[in-house]
């Protein structure tokens, strides 16, 4: 039942000619689907409308031939074929009563045009950045008119297929921002100079779009309220003036801050609502509805933001990926069921680098069409009279037990040797800045507790013999992995010599500490563990050297938009970084190895933490499956191996693996995923 304190979130909001049914709004964000996978796009967005989001948008939609984003995936709206693809999403979202929006876009200096080979365009040639060795050309007045016509044509196309909200995208440093910025706009004609002149391009575009589509759609703008020292960027004082100028012609103001890595800042470095010091000031400049984001999952905070008058509408990208049913759960008062966003940015990494969105919390994100997965519904097992023993309650084991429980198996036992569930996440969440990742455990603990057919048993180490005697029909081994302590490392034949007794991440997190004050953390992994251990030890006063085989520290963090801030942060807390190093040996008081160029490397340290690679713990699985007679005698019909015990991987992928196994456990070969649909253009 809806808590009255949250009722304000379910008030409708008038957005020009359209009525948003409530204050929940999925802002434009990329998915990897664009118009090349239109059915996946439609299913991905529709699930949010089904989950109660009153407004749902597709991603940035390039309008011109010279804002070609390929091979990145965008929702092009440049011709009828694009429109036909996007119409699938419009209809799918409308079927659930939500408004659907599209974000018309030109990247200007920021697109690359490498596939189309068009010359990039920019307000002022002298301020052109360099993309892939190519500079942009300065826009002529013809270009300005042409791009404006492209926006209008795209808006008409969007209107014709039923979009309710049409954005003119002015945030995140793209062409509109490049015109507004005194850095990138050095024009001396009517489109440069004063704020009114710099605003002219966008204002005219908005007026032309409005004139073309009239009151058929709401017209929205998305804008970076403050550039936060990024180039090109605009200071909030100018932006408030700009917003006041365009306010007569827009129906909705969508506010962001800074560059994208700040706006979509991870939980490691940005708290929820971190944009408010700037975005809250937009009210000074407009009476139109304001939508803003803040990675909000908590309805108390959301209601507070609305009551404060800062925003009229709660925007969300990541929280809506983690839980498409967030609004409905609030409406039903099921606050404990909200699958809270961890702020890991795995979604962004997967979408930007892999062209396939995913989520550390929601294994079904991006799988709606191709695997037919729903975030809240799982098919009941056709044969419930079976018991399943899940050995190991890490990310994959927790998820697998949860989905098996929901599928209605008679008894699901989730057994773990530790005194609480979570597996490696139990210690990962205690690394500096990684606390919010613990939500992966917390949500599953809450959900598992609701299932009467699932029993969670902690503090119990099961031997192979005990598993055979346990009485389960099916056994799932999810015993995880351990960081190697033997000096083995990827891409090397010989192990590191002299590492006996060296620390591993698990040992550090169990309380062991380096001997002496100077410690090297040797990171072949390149994500959060090596840097996390380094920061933990630095915080305790150790002199920490982060030594990595990679050409930069934590390259994987670049995919989650946090690489630069992570490295700056490590530097600021006094960690010395050594890149491109292969460690080959350890002697008393030093480690030795070679540089990227094969030169000798030596570093005087008292101790060493090995973050080389993970070793699956699959002994139980091997022992069980080696003796089919024993399995038969025990009445065990199947034994499966999932998660890190099968192959160490990102937490999001372990969760996915556990989820998949639970859904596909009755397939002919559960170890191998069922085929999924391969989408293609409409």
Q: Encode 325-360: b = buried (16+ Cβ within 10 Å), e = exposed.
A: bbbbbbbeeeeebbbbbbbbbbbbbbbbeebbbbbb
- Nearest alpha-carbon partner for 482 in 574, 578, 577, 417: 417
- Binding mask of the shown chain, residues 327 to 366, with x at each position contacting its own copies by CB under 8 A: -----------------------x--xxxx-x--------
Q: Check residue 418 for interaction with its own copies (CB under 8 A).
A: no
Binding-site member from 195, 245, 335, 552 for its own copies (CB under 8 A): 552
Q: Minimum distance from CB of 367 to its own copies (Å)?
A: 9
Q: Encode 532-569: b = buried (16+ Cβ within 10 Å), e = exposed.
A: bbbbbbbeeebbbbbbbbbeebbebbbbbbbbebbbeb
What sign does the dihedral 412-417-420-421 (CA atoms) show?
Answer: negative
C-alpha 88/C-alpha 40 separation (Å) is 10
Q: Check residue 141 for interaction with its own copies (CB under 8 A).
A: no
In the region spanning residues 481 to 500, those forming contacts with its own copies, defined by CB under 8 A, are: 488, 490-491, 493
Q: Check residue 397 for interaction with its own copies (CB under 8 A).
A: no
Q: Check residue 130 for interaction with its own copies (CB under 8 A).
A: yes
Binding-site member from 245, 613, 630, 638 for its own copies (CB under 8 A): 613
Q: Minimum distance from CB of 124 to its own copies (Å)?
A: 12
In the numeric block, which tokens belong to residue 87? 């119409």
- Identified catalytic residue from 105, 174, 522, 528: 174
In the region spanning residues 209 to 268, those forming contacts with its own copies, defined by CB under 8 A, are: 231
Nearer to its own copies, 152 or 661 (CB): 661
Helices (H), 432-519: 439-450, 464-469, 505-509
In the numeric block, which tokens belong to residue 170? 């002015």
C-alpha 489/C-alpha 482 separation (Å) is 13
Q: Minimum distance from CB of 357 to its own copies (Å)?
A: 10
Q: Minimum distance from CB of 173 to its own copies (Å)?
A: 11
Binding-site member from 646, 661, 662, 665 for its own copies (CB under 8 A): 646
Scanning 249-257, 293-301, 530-538, 595-603 for contacts with its own copies by CB under 8 A, the matching segment is 595-603
In the numeric block, which tokens belong to residue 631? 């399995």
Q: Check residue 551 for interaction with its own copies (CB under 8 A).
A: yes
Radius of gyration of the chain (CA): 27
Q: Check residue 269 for interaction with its own copies (CB under 8 A).
A: no
C-alpha 337/C-alpha 331 separation (Å) is 12
Instruction: Report residue 476: phi and psi, to 5°.
Output: -120, 120
Nearer to its own copies, 139 or 474 (CB): 139
Q: How far is CA 422 from CA 162, 429, 437, 513, 654, in A?
A: 45, 10, 11, 23, 12
- Binding mask of the shown chain, residues 62 to 91, with x at each position contacting its own copies by CB under 8 A: ---xx---xx-------x-x----------
Q: Minimum distance from CB of 560 to its own copies (Å)?
A: 11
Q: Check residue 656 for interaction with its own copies (CB under 8 A).
A: yes
Nearer to its own copies, 165 or 624 (CB): 624
Q: Is 174 considered catalytic here?
A: yes
C-alpha 140/C-alpha 471 separation (Å) is 77
Nearer to its own copies, 21 or 505 (CB): 505
Nearer to its own copies, 494 or 512 (CB): 494
- Nearest alpha-carbon partner for 521 in 433, 437, 424, 431: 431
In the region spanning residues 179 to 218, those forming contacts with its own copies, defined by CB under 8 A, are: 183
Q: Check residue 672 for interaction with its own copies (CB under 8 A).
A: yes
Helices (H), 451-547: 464-469, 505-509, 528-539
C-alpha 318/C-alpha 436 separation (Å) is 14
Q: Minimum distance from CB of 281 to its own copies (Å)?
A: 25
Nearer to its own copies, 182 or 433 (CB): 182
Q: Check residue 114 for interaction with its own copies (CB under 8 A).
A: yes
Binding-site member from 145, 515, 571, 677 for its own copies (CB under 8 A): 571
Binding-site member from 241, 527, 578, 666 for its own copies (CB under 8 A): 527
Tell me how far the alpha carbon of residue 439 is from its chain's centroid.
Answer: 14
- CB-based contact 250:167 (threshold 8 Å): no
Q: Minimum distance from CB of 400 to its own copies (Å)?
A: 15
Q: How far is CA 526 from CA 435, 489, 547, 579, in A?
A: 19, 13, 10, 11
Q: Name the DSSP letter for residue 45.
A: H
Q: Check residue 627 for interaction with its own copies (CB under 8 A).
A: no
Scanning 199-207, 217-225, 284-292, 609-617 for contacts with its own copies by CB under 8 A, the matching segment is 609-617
Scanning 98-106, 123-131, 163-171, 462-470 for contacts with its own copies by CB under 8 A, the matching segment is 123-131
Looking at the annotation, which residues are catalytic? Answer: 174
């Amino acid at each position: 039942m809806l808590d009255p304190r949250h009722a304000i979130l379910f008030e409708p909001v008038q957005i020009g000619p359209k009525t948003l049914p409530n204050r929940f709004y999925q802002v434009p964000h990329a998915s990897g689907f664009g118009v090349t996978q239109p059915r996946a796009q439609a299913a991905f967005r529709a699930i949010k409308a089904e989950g109660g989001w009153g407004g749902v948008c597709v991603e940035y939609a390039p309008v011109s031939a010279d804002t070609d984003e390929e091979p990145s995936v965008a929702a092009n709206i440049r011709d009828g074929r694009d429109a036909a693809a996007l119409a699938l999403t419009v209809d799918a979202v409308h079927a659930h009563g939500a408004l659907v929006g599209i974000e018309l876009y030109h990247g200007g200096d920021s697109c690359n045009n490498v596939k189309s080979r068009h010359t990039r365009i920019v307000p002022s040639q002298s301020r052109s950045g360099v993309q892939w060795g190519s500079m942009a050309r300065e826009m002529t007045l013809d270009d300005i008119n042409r791009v404006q016509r492209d926006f209008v044509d795209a808006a008409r196309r969007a209107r014709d297929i039923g979009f309710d909200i049409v954005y003119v995208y002015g945030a995140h440093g793209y062409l509109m921002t490049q015109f507004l910025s005194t850095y990138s706009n050095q024009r001396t004609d009517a489109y440069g100079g004063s704020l009114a002149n710099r605003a002219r391009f966008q204002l005219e575009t908005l007026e032309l779009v409005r004139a073309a589509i009239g009151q058929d759609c709401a017209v929205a703008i998305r804008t970076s309220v403050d550039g936060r020292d990024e180039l090109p960027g605009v200071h909030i004082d100018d932006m408030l003036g700009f917003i006041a100028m365009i306010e007569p012609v827009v129906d909705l103001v969508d506010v962001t801050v800074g560059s994208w890595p700040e706006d979509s800042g991870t939980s490691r470095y940005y708290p929820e609502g971190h944009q408010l010091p700037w975005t809250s000031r937009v009210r000074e400049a407009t009476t139109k509805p304001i939508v803003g984001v803040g990675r909000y999952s908590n309805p108390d905070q959301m209601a507070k933001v609305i009551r404060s008058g800062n925003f009229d509408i709660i925007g969300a990208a990541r929280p809506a990926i983690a839980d498409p049913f967030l609004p409905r759960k609030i409406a039903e008062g099921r606050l404990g069921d909200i699958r809270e966003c961890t702020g890991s940015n795995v979604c962004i990494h997967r979408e930007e680098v892999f062209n396939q969105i995913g989520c550390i919390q929601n294994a079904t994100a991006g799988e709606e069409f191709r695997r037919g997965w729903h975030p809240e519904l799982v098919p009941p097992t056709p044969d419930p009279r079976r018991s399943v023993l899940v050995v190991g309650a890490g990310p994959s084991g927790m998820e697998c037990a949860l989905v098996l429980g929901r599928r209605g198996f008679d008894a699901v036992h989730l057994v773990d040797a530790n005194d609480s569930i979570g597996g490696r996440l139990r210690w990962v969440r205690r690394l500096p800045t990684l606390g919010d990742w613990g939500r992966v455990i917390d949500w599953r603990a809450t959900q598992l507790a609701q299932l009467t057919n699932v029993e969670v048993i902690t503090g119990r180490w099961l031997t192979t013999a005990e598993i055979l005697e346990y009485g389960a029909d099916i056994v799932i081994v999810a015993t995880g992995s351990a960081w190697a302590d033997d000096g083995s490392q990827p891409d090397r034949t010989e192990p590191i010599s002299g590492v006996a007794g060296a620390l591993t991440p698990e040992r550090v997190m169990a309380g062991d500490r380096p001997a002496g004050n100077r410690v090297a953390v040797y990171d072949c992994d390149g994500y959060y563990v090596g840097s996390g251990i380094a920061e933990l030890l630095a915080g305790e006063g150790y002199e920490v050297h982060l030594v990595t085989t990679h050409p930069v520290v934590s390259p994987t963090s670049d995919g989650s938009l946090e690489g630069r801030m992570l490295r700056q942060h490590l530097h600021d807390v006094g960690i010395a970084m050594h890149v491109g190093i292969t460690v080959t040996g350890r002697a008393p008081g030093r480690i030795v190895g070679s540089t990227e160029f094969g030169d000798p490397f030596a570093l005087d340290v008292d101790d060493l933490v090995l973050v080389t690679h993970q070793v699956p713990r699959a002994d139980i699985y091997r022992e069980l499956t080696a003796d089919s007679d024993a399995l038969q005698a025990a009445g065990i019909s199947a034994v499966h191996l999932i998660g890190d015990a099968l192959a160490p991987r990102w937490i999001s992928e372990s969760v996915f693996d556990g989820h998949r196994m639970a859904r596909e456990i009755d397939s002919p070969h559960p170890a191998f995923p069922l085929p999924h649909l391969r989408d293609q253009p409409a």
